[in-house]
């Protein structure tokens, strides 16, 4: 009888979240394209909304996770939190880029222009993207403990830009970007809201799956480096 290979911590979680994300993404895609009613005002273009907004909210969640991981790293000095912070920002940035691109496509279809510089939501969101892109420049400029410490502080400070983007459209006087979710609830019928909720769940599950997969990869690489070092010294 042979021993089964030891599991890397998080491997099972990555698999479970991956399966869940796949099921939810397929369900959301079917719902958005085949079940959800067509918007009376925007027509088929409105179908961009479901994934565009879900990805935008998930990107902000990813940045919130990196902020919490930064605080935990500074308190514990555990490398694991540095890994969580960096992976979260990497995935959050990928999703932010998707939000900017899909938003531009929607803007072109809806307003006839790719970008509106006078709109506070668009500009503040772009600032958030640039702030988090600079995180990787900072990481590449320092080494070891200093890199992790600076990254944690930057992730915490950078998160201040997130509420700025979120509330900008609510406090600004003039804007073209619509606000769907207000204090009094969602500005859409339940038949659309249900598919937005499924899309949001799908994107959150996808974020957790990608995060777990990234962390498993990092743990594997670290374990391999330790093993190679021990073999060289043996």
* Residues at the site binding other proteins, with contacts judged by CB under 8 A: 43-45, 47-48, 51-52, 55, 91, 94, 97-98, 101-102, 105-106, 108-109, 206, 210, 213-214, 217, 220-221, 224, 227-228, 231
Please give the C-alpha separations between residue 112 and each of 105, 106, 107, 227, in angstroms, as whole numbers: 10, 9, 7, 57
Which residue's structure tokens are 């320092």? Answer: 142
Instruction: Select 43 or 163, whichever has its Cβ closest to other proteins.
Output: 43
Instruction: Select 156 or 195, whichever has its Cβ closest to other proteins.
Output: 195
Backbone phi, then psi, for 5, in 5-degree steps? -60, 140
Q: Distance from CA of residue 91 to its chain's centroid?
A: 5
Instruction: Select 173 or 232, whichever has its Cβ closest to other proteins.
Output: 232
Nearest to 148 by CA among 58, 66, 53, 45: 66
Instruction: Select 152 or 213, whichever has its Cβ closest to other proteins.
Output: 213
What does the alpha-carbon distance between residue 64 and residue 216 come to, in Å, rounded to a whole number?
21
Instruction: Select 146 or 222, whichever has its Cβ closest to other proteins.
Output: 222
111-125 burial code (b ≥16 CB/10 A, e <16): eeeeebeebbbbebb
CB of 46 to other proteins, least distance (A): 9
Q: Other CB atoms closer than 10 Å to residue 226's CB: what's the count?
A: 10
CB of 203 to other proteins, least distance (A): 10
Task: Name, in order, each residue with C-beta under 8 angstroms of 135's C-beta and a sequence gap of 6 or more.
Answer: 89, 151, 154, 155, 158
Instruction: Select 100 or 188, whichever has its Cβ closest to other proteins.
Output: 100
Burial (CB count within 10 angstroms: exposed 0-12, middle 13-18, buried 19+), residue 71: middle
CB of 172 to other proteins, least distance (A): 25
CB of 119 to other proteins, least distance (A): 18
CB of 18 to other proteins, least distance (A): 9
CB of 48 to other proteins, least distance (A): 5
């Amino acid at each position: 009888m042979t021993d089964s290979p030891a599991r890397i911590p998080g491997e099972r979680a990555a698999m479970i979240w991956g399966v869940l994300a796949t099921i939810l993404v397929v369900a959301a895609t079917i719902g958005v394209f085949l079940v959800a009613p067509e918007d009376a005002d925007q027509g088929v273009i409105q179908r961009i909304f479901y994934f565009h907004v879900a990805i935008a909210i998930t990107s902000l969640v990813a940045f919130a996770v990196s902020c919490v991981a930064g605080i935990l790293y500074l308190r514990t000095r555990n490398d694991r939190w540095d890994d969580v912070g960096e992976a979260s920002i990497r995935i959050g940035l990928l999703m932010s880029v998707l939000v900017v691109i899909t938003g531009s496509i929607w803007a072109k279809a809806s307003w006839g222009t790719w970008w509106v510089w006078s709109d506070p939501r668009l500009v503040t969101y772009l600032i958030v993207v640039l702030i988090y892109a600079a995180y990787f420049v900072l990481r590449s400029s320092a080494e070891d403990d200093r890199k992790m410490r600076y990254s944690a502080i930057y992730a915490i400070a950078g998160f201040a830009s997130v509420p700025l983007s979120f509330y900008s459209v609510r406090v600004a006087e003039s804007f073209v970007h619509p606000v769907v979710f207000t204090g009094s609830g969602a500005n859409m019928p339940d038949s659309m809201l249900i598919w937005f909720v499924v899309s949001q769940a799908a994107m959150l599950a996808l974020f957790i799956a990608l995060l777990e997969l990234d962390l498993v990869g990092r743990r594997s690489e670290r374990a391999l480096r330790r093993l190679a070092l021990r073999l060289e010294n043996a």
